[in-house]
Amino acid sequence: MKFKIPANIKTTSKLYLLSIMAFTIFRILLFITNIEKIYSMDGQLDFSNVLMSFFMGLRFDIVVSGYLLILPYFLLSLIEFINYKKELFNKITFYLVYLLYMPAFLICAADIPFFNHFFSRFNISAFQWKENPDFMFKMIIQEPSYFLVIIPFVIVYYLFIRFAKKIEQVHNSSAQTKPIYITIVASIFFILIMILGIRGRIEEKSPIRIGTAYFSNNAFLNMAGLNPVFVFIRSYYDAQKKENRELQLMDDGLAIANVRKYLGINDNINGSPIARYSNYDSATSKKFNIVLVIMESMSAGKMSTFGNPNKLTTFLDSISAKGLFFNKIYTAGIHTYNGIFSSLFSFPALYHQHSMEDSRMAKYNGISHTLKKHNYYTAFFTTHDGQFDNVEGFLYHNYFDKVYSQKDYPSDKIMSTLGVSDDYLFEFVNNEIDEIHKQSQPFFVSIMTASDHGPYIIPKYFKPKSSDIKSQIVEYADWSISKFIKLAENKEWFDNTIFVFVADHGSLIEPVVYEMPLNYHHTPLIIYAPKLFLGNKIVDKIGGQIDIFPTLMGLMNLPYINNTMGIDLLKQNREFIYFSADNKLGVLGDEFYLIINNQTGDALYDYQNNSTHNYISEYPQLAERMKIYAYSHLQTYQYLLKNKKHFIE
C-alpha cells in the first residue's frame, strides 16, 4: 500500500515553510538597512559568513516556528482523529495561527528600527519606558520614521494570511488517512521532530541559545542570525528570574564614592566612575605572549604548597616555587562561568546573576579588548560544547578572534559530555599556538580545563598513585599541565610567554568549617615565566580573580584604561576580597571572614584559626566595614550595567 502523508503533518509542514519565508523577508530587510556592516574592518566581504548568518537564521526561525505551531499541530491532529465538524474546527485552528503570528511579525518589524538605533536585537529593554509612557508616546509621534514599522508588518502579515488560507482550503478538502494507525504513528514521529526543532540542537548539554548565533568576529552577522522573537522571549524570561533582578544593596552614589576611594580613583573617563588611566612607562613596555590556564576545581587545598599531604599536584607545587606565587587569591563565585568571566573581565559575581548568559550580550573592557588594542591575537579553548554557559557566543562578542570547542576536535578524542581530556587539549593547544605564532603578533590564549569535574575519566595511559578517583583525577590534571609545559618548552614562542594558572573555583575539601567553604574559593594563582622572571617571589596580598588582568598589564608595563574593579596586586593593596555563592556573600580580610546570609543572618569568623565562634557581636564595626566594602563594589557594578558604563571605547 502506498504511504500517504496525513493531512495534519502536511499542513503543518507547509505552515512551517511559510512562516520561515516570512521571517527571512524581515532578515533580508535587516541586511538591506545594514548593508555596510556585512564587510570586515579591512573592507573585505566574506560571502561564506553571510551565508552562515542566514543559516543561523534558519535554525532560529525553525525554533520560533516550532513554538508557534505546536499547539495548532496538536489541534489539527486531534481533529484528524475525531473527524467531527472538521471544517469548523480547522477554521478555528487557522485563526489561532493568525493570532499567534501577528505579534511575532510585529516584533520582527519593530526589530529593524530598534536594531538600527541600538545595534541590538529587539528585547525586553524596549519596554523600560513603562514608568514614563507619555514621554515614549511623544517620542514616537514626533519621529515619523517609526511609523515605517507598520509597512513591512502589514505586507508580510497580509501575504502570510493569504497563503495560509490557501493551505487551509487544501487541508479542508483532504481525506482522512486510512488506516488510522498510520496517522497516529506518523503524528507521534512528527511531534518528536518538532520538539527537536524547538530545542535547536542535538547536543545533550544545552539547547540552542543566543550565543549559538555568534560564530564570527563580525558583530552584525552574528546578531543578524538571531530571530527577534526568540531574543525577546529569552530576555523576558531572563528578566523574570529572581537571580537576575537588579541588586539594591545600597545607594548608588554612596557605593560609587566608596569604590573610588577604595581603588584610589581620581579620573572620570567617558562617564565611567571607575575608569582610570594606567600610564605605565611605554619606554619599558613589553608585549609578552600570555597563556592563562583556568583549571577546573583546582582548590588551593589540593596542593602540597597549601598543606595537602597527599602530593597530588607535584608539578604545580614545583612551578609555584619558581615564579610569582600569590597565596591569598579567591575566586569570584562557585560556578565555572563565574571563574571565566571574572578572570577575563575583572568584575565580580553578582550573587545568582549569570554575566555571560545575559540576553543583551554585554561588552567589557577586559583583557581581550585591551590586548586587541595592543595588536594581540586572542583565543579561548574549552574541552566541551562551546554553547554551554554561553561561552562561545559571549567571548566572540568580547573580542576573541577564535573560540575552540568540542566541534574543533576529532570525534574519536571526545571522552564524555565534557569533551576531550585535559592532556589532549593541551597537546592540541600547543599545536594551535604554533600556527598563531606564525602570524608574527603577540597572542593571548586562555584555556579552560574540565577533567577535574564529573564524570571523571582518566585515560588508560596515565597511571595514578592514589586509590580513590577524586585524588586520581587531581593527579591527572596536574600531570596534564606538566605535559603542556614540557611540550611548550621546546617551542619558539616559549621564551617570550607568561603562563598563568588559576582555578575557575575550588571544591569541597574536608574539613568544611563554614557554610561558605573557603576551599571552594581559595585558588592558587601562579605566574610562571622562567625566561622572563628569575627566582621565586611570594606575593602575600589578599586578592581575587578580578585582579589578574590589571596585574598582568602591570607586569608588561602596557598603558591602558582600567575600567574594571581589579587592581595590580604587585603595586596596590586591597583591604578585603569578596565573593558570591549564589544567595550568599563572603568577605575576607587578613584575619576575619564575614558571611552575609539574608536568610540566616551574618556571621564573622576568625578563619585563620578555623574558629567557629561568631564574633559579630564582639566586632560589629569591623563586620559593618567589611559588608559596606563588598556591597559598594557589587552595587557599583550593578550601576555600571544598568547605565551601560561597563564598557567604553
Q: Which residues contact 524 (CB under 8 A, 6 or more apart)?
A: 298, 300, 303, 305, 306, 316, 320, 325, 326, 327, 329, 501, 502, 503
**Distance, C-alpha 167 to centroid of its chain:** 42
Angle between helices 86-118 and 150-173 (to 10 degrees): 160
311: left (phi over 0), alpha (psi -120 to 50) or beta: left
- What integer is the mean pLDDT of 234-256? 83
Q: Tens of pLDDT along 362-387? A: 899 999 999 999 999 999 999 998 88
Output the CA–CA distances (angstroms, integers) from residue 361 to 51, 399, 401, 468, 588, in the order listed.
Answer: 22, 12, 17, 41, 31
Q: Tens of pLDDT along 274-318? A: 999 987 777 788 999 999 999 999 999 999 999 999 999 999 999
Sheet holding 402-404, edge to edge: 402-404, 377-382, 443-448, 289-295, 497-503, 522-528, 324-330, 537-544
* Cell matching residue 575: 583591604
Higher pLDDT, 34 or 448: 448
Q: Picking from 66-75, 92-101, 128-137, 264-273, which range would have the lowest pLDDT averaged per residue? A: 128-137
Residue 140 has pLDDT above 60, yes or no: no
Q: Are residues 369 and 435 in contact, defined by beta-carbon separation less than 8 angstroms?
A: no
pLDDT computed for residue 132 by the predictor: 46
SS3 content of the chain, % helix, strand, coil (to 5): 50, 10, 35
Phi, psi of 76 (to 5 degrees): -60, -40
**Distance, C-alpha 174 to centroid of its chain:** 49
pLDDT computed for residue 244 by the predictor: 58
pLDDT computed for residue 125 by the predictor: 66
Q: In a 10 Å sphere around its CB, with 0-12 CB exposed, 13-18 middle and 19+ buried, how is residue 555 labelled?
A: buried
Distance in angstroms (rounded) separating the CA atoms of residues 240 and 263? 33
Q: Picking from 208-222, 308-322, 410-424, which range would have the lowest pLDDT averaged per residue? A: 208-222
Model confidence band, residue 150 (pLDDT cutoffs 50, 70, 90): confident
* Cell matching residue 569: 596586586
pLDDT computed for residue 128 by the predictor: 52
- Enter the DSSP assignment of 174: P
Model confidence band, residue 405 (pLDDT cutoffs 50, 70, 90): very high
Give the number of other CB atoms < 10 A from CB of residue 591: 13
Residue spans of alpha helices (H) in 558-643: 620-642
SS (H, E, C) 242-304: HHHCCCCCCCHHHHHHHHHHHCCCCCCECCECCCEEECCCHHHCCCCEEEEEEECCCCHHHCH
pLDDT computed for residue 491 by the predictor: 96
With H, G, I as helix, E, B as strand and everything else as coil, classify residue 631. helix
- Pairing verdict, β 377-382 and 402-404: parallel
Q: What is the DSSP string of 176-239?
A: PPSSHHHHHHHHHHHHHHHHHHHH----SS----GGGG--SS-HHHHHHTS-HHHHHHHHHHHH
**250-642, superfamily in CATH?**
Alkaline Phosphatase, subunit A (3.40.720.10)
Cβ density class 386-400: b for 16+ within 10 Å, e for less: bbbbbbbbbbbbbbb
pLDDT computed for residue 511 by the predictor: 76
Higher pLDDT, 589 or 356: 589
Cis peptide before 113 (omega within 30 of 0): no
Distance in angstroms (rounded) separating the CA atoms of residues 644 and 360? 11
- What integer is the mean pLDDT of 514-543? 91
Angle between helices 47-82 and 228-240 (to 10 degrees): 80
Q: Picking from 130-134, 365-369, 513-517, which range would have the lowest pLDDT averaged per residue? A: 130-134
pLDDT computed for residue 141 by the predictor: 47
Beta bridge partners, 324, equal: 527, 537
Output the CA–CA distances (angstroms, integers) from residue 207 to 55, 211, 230, 417, in the order listed.
Answer: 17, 11, 13, 14
Residue 598 has pLDDT above 50, yes or no: yes
Higher pLDDT, 118 or 275: 275
pLDDT computed for residue 210 by the predictor: 86
Distance in angstroms (rounded) separating the CA atoms of residues 520 and 511? 12
Q: Which residues contact 111 (CB under 8 A, 6 or more apart)?
A: 26, 30, 121, 122, 228
Output the CA–CA distances (angstroms, integers) from residue 78 to 65, 85, 190, 191, in the order listed.
Answer: 20, 12, 14, 13
- Where along the chain do the CATH 3.40.720.10 domains lie? 250-642
Query: Which amino acid is present at 630?
Result: A
Residue 43 has pLDDT above 50, yes or no: yes
Beta bridge partners, 272, equal: 269
- What integer is the mean pLDDT of 85-93? 86
Higher pLDDT, 493 or 512: 493
Model confidence band, residue 554 (pLDDT cutoffs 50, 70, 90): very high
Model confidence band, residue 434 (pLDDT cutoffs 50, 70, 90): very high
Name the residue among 585, 510, 577, 514 with its Cα closest to residue 542: 577
- What integer is the mean pLDDT of 245-250? 86
- What integer is the mean pLDDT of 612-641? 96
Q: Find the radius of gyration of the CA atoms of the chain.
A: 28
Model confidence band, residue 358 (pLDDT cutoffs 50, 70, 90): low
Q: In a 10 Å sphere around its CB, with 0-12 CB exposed, 13-18 middle and 19+ buried, how is residue 413 labelled?
A: middle
Q: Are residues 312 and 471 in contact, defined by beta-carbon separation less than 8 angstroms?
A: yes
pLDDT computed for residue 388 by the predictor: 83
User: Which percentage of the chain shows pLDDT scores above 90?
Assistant: 67
Q: Tens of pLDDT along 450-488? A: 999 888 889 999 999 999 999 999 999 999 999 999 999
Distance in angstroms (rounded) separating the CA atoms of residues 60 and 30? 15
- Enter the DSSP assignment of 516: S
Model confidence band, residue 145 (pLDDT cutoffs 50, 70, 90): low
pLDDT computed for residue 131 by the predictor: 44
Q: Tens of pLDDT along 52-68? A: 999 999 999 999 999 99
Residue spans of alpha helices (H) in 34-85: 47-82
Q: Tens of pLDDT along 323-335? A: 999 999 999 998 8
Name the residue among 30, 35, 225, 224 with its Cα closest to residue 112: 30
Please give the mean pLDDT across all residues of the chain.
90
Q: Are residues 336 and 448 in contact, defined by beta-carbon separation less than 8 angstroms?
A: yes
